[in-house]
Amino acid sequence: MSRARRRPALRAPEALDAVLERAGEDRFAWRRPPIADRVWTAAMGPRIAERARPVLLERGVLTMRVATSVWASELSLLAPSLIARLRNEGVAVTELRFRVGSIDPPARPPERRTSRAIPAPARLPKELASAIARVADPELKEAIALAARANLAWQEHTKGPGGDPQRSDARRSSPSRR
């Protein structure tokens, strides 16, 4: 009586390219680069990985597509260190060759946008209201009052625990007025 083999339990999900590589899936081999994207980025670093792509790895010679001839020239000067980096990642490379061609932009996740609730305009303190009342132009007076009420509302809205305002980097870097 034979028992069905059970796959060992995984601690974390496994990357799909690792599963396909382990399973020997070759029907998409002509589309896949010779070096997995995660290995390529780890070895080259993000800046080089975005501007150069592995095209072919044959008998230790890695052919790379680069965005421009300037990049090809620069990377050829860095070839010994790049080869060492690739070897540290387990890629058997002895030589690099470069081809200039178009590079597809890297796939990036969509930008996450956060939305914030806009607080209702705040009441103007008496001192500020009397200062604004002295403005002669009625349209300018209204615009100043509206801006001041909105600004006071945001200041109140962004106060952290204990009443301390949580300042943004832009406000933190600006010199304080005394």
Provide the pLDDT for residue 31.
62
Which is more confidently placed, 124 or 3? 124
Mean pLDDT over 158-165 rounds to: 61
Spacing of C-alpha 33 from chain mean position: 22
Quick one: residue 2, left, alpha or beta (phi over 0 = left, psi -120 to 50 = alpha)? Answer: beta
Count of H-run helices and E-run strands, the chain = 8, 3
- 107-150 residue pLDDT tens: 666 666 676 778 888 999 999 999 999 999 999 999 999 999 99
Q: Over 50: is that where the pLDDT of 33 sits?
A: yes
pLDDT at 163 over 50: yes
Task: Indicate whether 176 pLDDT > 50.
Answer: no
Alpha helices in the chain (DSSP H): 16-23, 37-44, 46-51, 69-77, 79-88, 126-133, 138-157, 169-173
Q: CA 20, CA 7: separation in Å to the nearest integer?
A: 15
pLDDT in the model for residue 10? 73
161-168: long-range contacts at Cβ-Cβ below 8 A with a sequence spacing of 24 or more? none
37: pLDDT confidence band, cut at 50, 70 and 90?
Answer: confident
* Spatial CA neighbour of 123 closest among 99, 91, 156, 101: 156
pLDDT at 161 exceeding the cut of 70: no
Q: Residue range 57-82: average pLDDT? A: 92
pLDDT value for 143 = 93
* Band (2; pLDDT cuts 50, 70, 90): low
Residue 139, pLDDT score:
94
> Is pLDDT of 178 > 60?
no
The full set of domains in the chain, from first to last, is 23-100 (3.30.300), 126-168 (no CATH)
pLDDT (mean) for 48-56? 90
